[in-house]
Amino acid sequence: MDQQQVRERLAEIVGADHVTDESFIRLTYTRDFGTQPPRWPAYVVRPGTTEEIAAVLQLATELEIPVSPRGGGSAQEGGCQSEGGIVLETLRLDRMLEIDEDTGTVTVEAGITFGKLMNELEERGWKIGIAPSGALAGTVGAHLSRPGVGWGNIKYVSQGEQVIGVKAVLPTGEVVETGTAANPASDSFFRYALGPDLAGLFIGAEGAFGVVTEATLRMYPWPEQIYLERYVGSNLTDAVDIFREIALHNLVCYISVPVIKPDMILFDVNVEGDEAEVEHNMERIRGIISEYDTVTYEGPEGPQAFWDYRWFKTGEEFKQGIAGAVNYFLPFEKLEEATLTMREIIERHGIREYAQQMFPEPTGSEHVSLLFHHPDDQKEYEKIQRAMDEMMDTALALGGAPYSKGRQWGPHLERHLGDTGYWGVLKSLKTALDPSHIMNPGVLGL
């Protein structure tokens, strides 16, 4: 079947307006927000329903054409790229399906952006637990597929933790609902139901096992108070001890550590709840911090100004250029070693602009390195690629768990985990669910 015939078959499914093989359009789908090399899809499709996605995947399996799901295209590891296959963009699936105030859940289509979701909930006095930095562009389906950390990491852990159930399309076109919604007589109100947690198969899987088309997430009453305070530390050991203690006692919604330099660690704490709860938690946080004379109080004004326009402000960081990101989770005890090791690698490779950051979780932290370059600067880009390769191997050797894997981490994961039972099970599952190996080949190293 030639390219035109495939396009026509796709057009029969999604409509001619929602499929393209125009080269100038495909050009704009060759990259994401990061530094992976461009990959050219043969087609881009924009289905509007779960049924259309099922038909696209059925066709792709029949014709053995790879398919890469894409939300807002704002991830950094190349997970939504496709070389010669179909990029399946989910942005037309952008509806709020149900806000259930009795169960405290919200059901949405996978292509809804966080900006829209959060705004609609806030108008009704509700909020979700976690949203990514790129909330204005990023979609729910893409976020939980990574598995979705962000603003709210300590109290709400990850988007995966917030999922009650998903509706997903398997590569063969079958539609599966998870949790209580697997029972046709039931809605989605409890995740761990009826058998194994099938939602977990799709969380963090980056489309390797299918395409998430709907998700039911927990939602929470909008807190009476949200209070932020900023501190600056000069000693990383002390700072990490503080993060661990605050996280252990679950005193904050999140701690953000956007700047880690050799002599400066800037961090904000965000506390939410009723007035008494906020006051109580802040008292305990200040008590913890007061034990360390390497930390100074900066006050609430800076982080509050950030918070008020937070989803826009997160984008300002990238004035420094396109960022190659090496993000992974580590236990608290390894954060200092990782920071110093990564800094040594970055500087040895002569990277001109970079940032190190942490976003603590309850049991460890996301550790972030951003290596910036101007896309016109090929020499710097190549240096960054070499540094990132070394950093990813180093992170895995340290026991790190990459956050968003995409195609960037694929070969490294296979190299480090290839002999493990986990990897064997993963590959068996892949073969069982995706016999033609069409679903986002290359992500996770599969």
> Which residues lie near other proteins (CB under 8 A)?
17-18, 20, 22-25, 27-29, 31-33, 44, 46, 72-74, 91-92, 113, 115-120, 134-137, 309, 311-316, 318-319, 321-323, 374-376
Least Cβ distance, residue 48 to other proteins (angstroms):
10
Work out how close the CB of 47 gets to other proteins at its nearest, in angstroms, rounded to a whole number: 12
Q: How far is the CB of 131 from other proteins (least distance, A)?
A: 10
Min dist. Cβ of residue 116 to other proteins (A): 3
Do 371 and 324 form a contact (C-beta atoms < 8 A)? yes
Cβ contacts of 265 within 8 Å, gap of 6 or more: 232, 233, 234, 235, 236, 239, 257, 259
Instruction: Rank residues 22 and 344 by Cβ distance to other proteins and give the closer one.
Output: 22
Residue closer to other proteins (CB basis): 74 or 369: 74
Nearer to other proteins, 117 or 181 (CB): 117
DSSP 8-state assignment for residue 265: E
Query: Helices marked H in 145-195 — which ranges?
Result: 153-156, 159-162
72 or 364, CB closer to other proteins? Answer: 72
Could you tell me which residues come within 8 angstroms of residue 425 by beta carbon, excluding any fewer than 6 positions away?
none
7/46 with CB nearer other proteins: 46
Q: Which amino acid is at 204?
A: G
Nearer to other proteins, 88 or 395 (CB): 88
* Helix-strand-coil split of the chain, %, nearest 5: 40, 25, 35
Find all residues with CB under 8 Å of 18, minimum gap 6, and list them.
11, 45, 46, 47, 48, 92
Residues 6+ apart with CB under 8 A from 305: none
CB of 315 to other proteins, least distance (A): 3
Q: How far is the CB of 318 from other proteins (least distance, A)?
A: 4
Strands (E), 14-85: 19-20, 43-45, 67-70
